Chain A
Amino acid sequence: MRWLREPIFWLLLLSGVLLYGLPYSEPLFRWLFPDLANPLWRQQSFASLALAHLTLVAVSELVAVAVGLGLGLAVSRPGGQEFRPVVETIAAVGQTFPPVAVLAVAVPVMGFGALPALIALALYGLLPVLQGTLAGLAVVPTEVKQVASGVGMGPWRRLWQVELPLAAPVILAGVRTSTVINIGTAALASTVGVNSLGTPVIIGLSAFNTAYVLQGALLVALMAIVIDRAFGLCLRRLSRHAE
Chain B
Amino acid sequence: MIEFNGVSKYYDGVAAVSDLNLRCPEGAFTVLLGSSGSGKSTTLKMINRLEPHDSGTLLFGGQDVRSIEVKSLRRRIGYAIQSVGLFPHWTVARNIATVPALLGWDRARIEARIDELLALLGLEDGRFRNSYPHQLSGGQQQRVGVARALAADPEVLLMDEPFGALDPVTRSALQQEVRRIHQLQGRTFVLVTHDVDEALLLADRLVVMDQGKVIQQGTPAELLSHPATPFVRDFFGGSELGVRLLARRTVAQWLRPGEWLEEMEPVDEQMTLREALSRFIELGCQRLPVQSADGERLGVLHFCDLAAQEPTL
Which residues of A come within 8 Å of B, CB atoms?
141, 143-144, 146-154, 157, 162, 165-166, 241-242
Contact = CB atoms under 8 A, between A and B. Distances in A.
Contact of B81 (A147, A241, A242): A147
A150 B74 contact: yes
Given A153-B71, A241-B89, 19 more contacts: A141-B84, A144-B84, A144-B86, A144-B87, A144-B88, A146-B81, A146-B85, A147-B79, A147-B87, A150-B48, A151-B79, A151-B99, A152-B73, A152-B74, A152-B102, A157-B102, A162-B87, A241-B88, A242-B88
23 contacts: A141-B84, A143-B81, A143-B85, A146-B85, A147-B87, A148-B87, A150-B48, A150-B50, A150-B79, A150-B81, A151-B74, A151-B75, A151-B102, A151-B148, A152-B71, A152-B73, A153-B102, A154-B71, A162-B87, A166-B88, A241-B88, A241-B89, A241-B132
Contacts of B84: 141, 143-144
Contacts of A241: 88-90, 132, 134
Interface in B70-84: 70-75, 79, 81-82, 84
Contacts, number: 56
A202 to B, nearest CB: 45
Contacts of B86: 144
A146 B50 contact: yes
Contacts of A242: 88, 132, 134
Interface string B86-108: 11111000000011001000000
Q: Which 7 A-B pairs have the closest CB atoms?
A: A152-B74, A152-B75, A147-B85, A150-B79, A143-B84, A241-B89, A152-B71
A166 B72 CA distance: 25
Contacts of B98: 151
B88 to A, nearest CB: 6
Contact of A143 (B82, B90, B148): B82
A42 to B, nearest CB: 52
B72 A152 contact: yes
Contacts of A166: 88-89
Q: Give chain B's interface residue range (CB within 8 Å of chain A).
A: 20 to 34
A154 B86 CA distance: 17
Contacts of B102: 151-153, 157
A148 B87 CA distance: 8
A146 B81 CA distance: 10
Interface of B: 48, 50, 70-75, 79, 81-82, 84-90, 98-99, 102, 132, 134, 148
B89 A165 contact: yes
A115 B167 CA distance: 63
A81 to B, nearest CB: 17
A148 B81 CA distance: 12
A149 B74 contact: yes
B305 to A, nearest CB: 47
B58 to A, nearest CB: 16
Given A141-B84, A144-B87, A149 B50 contact: yes
A160 to B, nearest CB: 12
Contacts of B74: 149-152
Contacts of B73: 152
Nearest to B91: A241
Contacts of B72: 152
A147 B82 CA distance: 10
Contacts of B48: 150
A242 to B, nearest CB: 7
Contacts of B71: 152-154
A171 B70 CA distance: 31
Contacts of B148: 151
Contacts of A141: 84
A162 B102 CA distance: 13
Nearest to B85: A147
A147 B95 CA distance: 11
A152 B69 CA distance: 10
Nearest to A140: B88
Contacts of A165: 89
A165 to B, nearest CB: 5
Tell me which of A150, A153, A162, A166 has the highest count of chain B C-beta atoms within 10 A of its own C-beta.
A150
A165 B74 CA distance: 23
Contacts of A146: 50, 81, 85
Nearest to A157: B102
A239 B53 CA distance: 39
A166 B71 CA distance: 22
A219 B115 CA distance: 55
A166 B132 CA distance: 13
A136 to B, nearest CB: 13
Nearest to A154: B71
Contacts of A147: 79, 81, 85, 87
